[in-house]
Amino acid sequence: MVNDDLTYKIIGCALQVHKKLGNGFQEVIYQRCLAIEMEGAGLDFEREKEHPIYYNSIQVGTRRADFIVEAKIMVELKALIKLEDIHLAQAKNYLVAYNLPLGLLINFGSNSLQFHRIYK
């Protein structure tokens, strides 16, 4: 499956970042480094792509996904000691807002890289 290959590449890039930096940095640092790794891997992506949020057909705000990769996969980054259910719910909500079938929630804050595939 194409998305499996794509998620594998994204996770590989994230593993490289975590291997080089470890944990303890702010999320934005990991985001910048992941952009460098994904560019080097030849992945097409948009960083901090803003998307409107609607309620009853009225725009009530916007949200920025950390990355939209190949216009297919939303990638949300965290730099937390521990992921909680609220972070998974947030990532799932982004999938709905962006109308994408698959996302990755990647946490650089723990000793080992954590990642979860999120499905709409």
pLDDT per residue over 3-17, tens digit each? Answer: 789 999 999 999 999
Which residue is associated with the tokens 């999320």?
27
Domain hosting 16: range is 2-119
Q: What percent of the chain has pLDDT over 90?
A: 87
Kindly tell me if the per-residue pLDDT of 1 is higher than 50.
no
E strands present in the chain? 45-55, 58-69, 73-78, 102-107, 114-119
Q: How far is CA 14 from CA 17, 31, 60, 77, in A?
A: 5, 9, 32, 10
Report the range of poorest mean pLDDT among 28-37, 45-54, 71-80, 108-117.
45-54
Give me the CATH number covering residue 30.
3.90.320.10
Is this prediction's pTM over 0.85?
yes
Domain count, the chain: 1
Residue 34 backbone phi and psi in degrees, to 5: -65, -35
Kindly tell me if the per-residue pLDDT of 2 is higher than 60.
no
pLDDT, residue 4, reads 86
